[in-house]
Amino acid sequence: MLGIAFFFFQPSLDAQKIIGIGTRYNDTFRQWLITTADDELKGELLMRWEFRDDWTEWDLQIGDLTATIEQKWKDDPNLWEIRCEGVVVNAKTVWPGEFNRWKLNDGQHQFNWGTEFFNQRDHWQSNNGGKESMEIYTYWEGDPREWVVDDNLPVDVSAAMKIAMVFLALHYSTPRI
């Protein structure tokens, strides 16, 4: 009976799978629209305190799924906390001040996340490569307004971990406008 119940709930998990993300408006990177595998299910990534110009706190919502993304300390952009569905992901730069290489840990999984090349921030990937990996890259080369998300991570990797990867790529690849 449990197998049957799991079978019926599996499509809703796949429906929340992020496949793309783009800016709501062409002239700012403070509001993002999320595209999922389900055409009917859309989401948003929003700067929490937009009018204060505070880039340290964000909120994400896709259907019933919500997440909070916060810098651990306001004056240290090297450490972030991503919370979603009871899971907390700690994201820390490999080297202080180098925002293109990160270590991510949610207590169950650990990933290295970063850009393919040091000076090019339009292609990010997880360390494990191959079939079980995550990549995010710009839809158009050199244009950070639209991104493709290629999520091939195992099903036991948390939504919080995947959100952390997407957020870090966006946040550290786009201008502060």
Interval 20-30: pLDDT, tens: 999 999 999 99
For residue 128, what pLDDT band results from cuts at 50, 70 and 90?
low
Nearest alpha carbon to residue 21 among 139, 104, 168, 133: 139
Cα–Cα distances (Å) from 167 to 1, 7, 89, 123, 155, in that order, read 38, 30, 12, 13, 19
The two structure tokens encoding residue 48: 């929490």
Tell me the pTM.
0.90
Please give the pLDDT value at position 130: 61
**Which segments within 87-142 are labelled E, that is strand?**
87-93, 101-105, 110-117, 120-126, 134-140
Please give the pLDDT value at position 118: 79
Q: How close are the terminal C-alpha atoms of the chain, in Å?
A: 52
